[in-house]
Amino acid sequence: MRAVTFAEPGGPEVLETTTAAVPTRVNAELLIRVIAAGVNPIDAKTRAGKGAWPGVTATPVVLGNDFSGVVVEAPYESFPLQPGTEVYGMGMVPRMSGAYAEYLTVSALSVARKPPSLSHVEAAAVPLAGLTAWGMVVETAKAHEGQRMLIHAGAGGVGHFAVQFAAYFGAHVIATGSARNAAFLRELGASEVLDYTERAFDEAVDAVDTVIDLVGNVGGDTGSRSLRVLRPGGLYVNGPTGSFPTMAAEADALGVRATGYRVAPDAATLAIITRLIESGDVRVYVDRVLPLEEAAEAHTLIESGHTRGKIVLTVAEG
């Protein structure tokens, strides 16, 4: 099968299109023919030797957690997702071989039926970002009516889902973004949009109930400043891996709560997100679509930090 792999950490240029063996399905796994694969920041971090790289036990590595495709082999005869079923889901690289390839194997607990209203390209943009946003906003922050929630990077892959979920459950959403994304963020449900290029967010808001931080403390002390705009006892939820190592100590000193979040592939939750997509309450935005062979360009774009919504690689026709 065609696959994009890398053998040693480095820049986007280490990614190369190669021929690899089709993975073998075992136990309660499905074999999926991949039609489209989502690109996420964790892919670029892992490629650079961070992210999930410490878990790599063999090379070359096939990246890509998000996928949309068609079932080729099911675990058993009466399994609900039989060969030919259009599905989407999320795996966990490097515990599994990734979606930057024509085939992958994945746990049956990580796969849901593809939303009929979405193309495979659109569907591949949903799983990791949608599940991360749901876990941060709904499960951890308990989004509810009247809650004032500040969401950083609201126009990004996770962010554009986070804004929609928070608004759906009645929260008053304050989203940070650039001027070009202001109208987009309001369409998603943001009640207020803060242009970070014009004014520091901590000069514009205070005493918020919750901060969903999709930036971290890697630049401009976004994490530290976010803790200071929370009300006493407010909750800060950090997403990007390794982006705020002093979070717990700083939160304790300020009398606020703080937690990181790590997404798990969960078909049951993905099925809930599917229903919200099908009802029209949630939509997915795909910024760029590139062929599998241009995975390096996709990584360059994702590392720029200025994409709206998601970047998706097309692997096959479907």
Residue 38 near residue 286 (C-beta atoms within 8 A): no
pLDDT of residue 147: 98
Any domain includes 148: yes
The domain boundary residue, chosen from 225, 245, 260: 260
Read off the CATH number of the domain in which 15 is found. Answer: 3.90.180.10
103 plus 146 within the same structural domain? no
Predicted confidence (pLDDT) at residue 134 exceeds the cutoff of 90: yes
Q: What is the pTM of this model?
A: 0.96
Any domain includes 277: no
Pairing state between β 29-39 and 16-19: unpaired
- Average pLDDT score over the chain: 96
User: pLDDT confidence of 210, banded at 50, 70, 90?
Assistant: very high
Any domain includes 266: no
pLDDT of residue 219: 80
User: pLDDT confidence of 128, banded at 50, 70, 90?
Assistant: very high
Any domain includes 109: yes
pLDDT per residue as tens digits for the range 237-251: 999 988 999 999 999
As for how many domains the chain has, the answer is 2
Q: Which of 34, 45, 46 is nearest to 99 (CA)?
A: 34
pLDDT of residue 148: 98
Any domain includes 225: yes
Domain housing 214:
129-260
Any domain includes 80: yes
Read off the CATH number of the domain in which 151 is found. Answer: 3.40.50.720
pLDDT of residue 239: 95
27 plus 81 within the same structural domain? yes
pLDDT per residue as tens digits for the range 81-105: 999 999 999 999 999 989 999 999 9
CA angle 133, 213, 237 (to 5 degrees): 75
Residue 121 near residue 292 (C-beta atoms within 8 A): no
Any domain includes 41: yes
174 plus 249 within the same structural domain? yes
pLDDT of residue 241: 86
pLDDT of residue 68: 98
Q: What's the mean pLDDT in 105-118?
A: 97
pLDDT of residue 232: 98
68 plus 157 within the same structural domain? no
54 burial (CB, 10 Å; 0-12 / 13-18 / 19+) is exposed
